[in-house]
Amino acid sequence: MAVADQSARSNAPLDRGEEHETAKLWADRSGNAVIAKLVQLDGKWYFDLRRYFTNPQGKFTATKKGVMVSVRKLPDLVKAVGKSEREAIRLGFLKSEDAE
């Protein structure tokens, strides 16, 4: 799979549109979470899965750790996650009942 050349990026700020949070789960016991969102940037829709920490004011703040892909790639991402889940079960990292 080819990866686009990232050196041609613009420094212009992105026009942020709507955001729709679709899932939130605790990453650990220290107040870190993983949040899934549908995000609109420059008129295009993306799926954003990102790690957040709880700031001193008690609000979630995004970290740079995460992945953002075009919503057109979402079916491929779902397949990849499903394949990883099945492999984790096969290797004994997860029990099949934990995966439901």
Average of per-residue pLDDT across 38-65: 95
In the prediction, which pLDDT does 4 show? 56
Domains of the chain: 14-99 (2.30.31.10)
Range in 16-30, 52-66, 86-100 the model is least confident about? 86-100
Q: How far is the CA of 25 from the CAs of 16, 45, 98, in angstroms?
A: 24, 22, 15
Whether residue 48 contacts residue 68, with contact meaning beta carbons closer than 8 Å, is answered with yes
Query: For residue 47, is pLDDT > 60?
Result: yes
Q: What is the pLDDT of residues 53-84, one digit of tens each?
A: 999 999 999 999 999 999 999 999 999 999 99
How confident is the model at residue 31, as a pLDDT?
Answer: 85
